[in-house]
Amino acid sequence: MQSLQKKILQDSILKTPCAGGAYLNDPELAETLVTESPDRFRDLSAWGSVFDVEEDCVPAQRPFGGQRFSRTCYAGDRSGHEMIATLTEQIRNTGIRQMQETSAIDLLMDDRRVAGAVTLDGGDGNLGVITADATVLATGGGTRCYDISTNCAAGGTGDGFALGYRAGGATLIDMEMVQFHPTGGAVYPPPIHAAASSPRRPRGGRRSFEEQPRGGTVYGTL
């Protein structure tokens, strides 16, 4: 019975990213997000992230972009910072070698397999080589191709796309899907952030789910 309830809840939650993505999303990826998020939240909490809680110590939740009920956990107005600080601490504990201010500028190829990367040290300008059995590209998006975006100035270079493409094996997909975050131009406290991301009419009155315009145009009503 409990697993049926869980399945019904997951199906209901799955509708939000799919509707937000105008049903152009990869359904498998959307389902992974929905089914695995609770465990990742528990991981972060176990590793020391301090999220807001209700009076009875149950994790507090708010409705964020397009959600029909409160289901986003948060840490004040610094959720991202809390998560990054926790993950950085975890990496320190593992002894994994970190190289700050070092960029991968090309992938090394061994026959048709990726065998590591050529790096550039932003401090001294030296080039380096890292060899690896497995290479994961997690370099974020590519919004720097726009003069103005809602991403931070340091990221969004599209390096990962270029590295994979130049290496000859990566097929770039969905390149036209770029998010401009509705509250990215200013810092808002979470309730405003949540309201801004919620489907509302320009002057009062919450939209019903059926009335929501598709995808990012929800934000256009602000």
Ligand X SMILES: Cc1cc2nc3c(=O)[nH]c(=O)nc-3n(C[C@H](O)[C@H](O)[C@H](O)COP(=O)(O)OP(=O)(O)OC[C@H]3O[C@@H](n4cnc5c(N)ncnc54)[C@H](O)[C@@H]3O)c2cc1C
Shorter beta-carbon distance to ligand X: residue 107 or 212 = 107
Q: Which residue number, 61 or 150, has a Cβ lying nearer to ligand X?
A: 150
Q: How far is CA 23 from the centre of its chain?
A: 18
Kindly provide the b/e burial profile for residues 19-56, where b requires at least 16 CB atoms within 10 angstroms of the residue's own CB.
Answer: bbbeeebeeeebbeebeeeeeeeeebeeeebebeeeee
- Closest separation in Å from C-beta 49 to ligand X: 14
Which sign does the torsion angle of CA 211, 212, 214, 219 carry? positive
**Residue number with CB closer to ligand X (55 or 101):** 101
* DSSP helix/strand/coil, 189: coil
Q: Interface with ligand X by CB under 6 A: which residues? A: 80, 103-104, 138-140, 150-151, 154-155, 157, 159, 181, 184
Nearer Cβ to ligand X, position 8 or 132?
Answer: 132
Assign residue 217 a region (left: φ > 0; alpha: ψ between -120 and 50; beta: otherwise).
alpha
Judged by CB, which is closer to ligand X: 138, or 173? 138
Q: Least distance from C-beta 117 to ligand X, angstroms?
A: 8
CB of 214 to ligand X, least distance (A): 20
CB of 104 to ligand X, least distance (A): 4
CB of 184 to ligand X, least distance (A): 4
Q: How far is the CB of 88 from ligand X (least distance, A)?
A: 11
Q: How many CA atoms lie within 13 A of 221 on its CB side?
A: 23
Q: What is the DSSP letter of 216?
A: G
Q: Which residue is nearest to ligand X (CB)?
A: 140
The one-character DSSP state at 12 is H
Residue 39 Cβ vs ligand X, minimum distance, rounded to whole Å: 16
**Helix count and strand count (H, E) for the chain:** 5, 5
Of 151, 100, 110, 149, give the one whose Cα is nearest residue 132: 110
Q: Which one, 7 or 42, has the nearer CB to ligand X?
A: 42
Residue 63 CB contacts under 8 Å (≥ 6 apart), including other chains: 69, 70, 71, 72, 194, 198
Nearer CB in complex with ligand X: 6/166 = 166
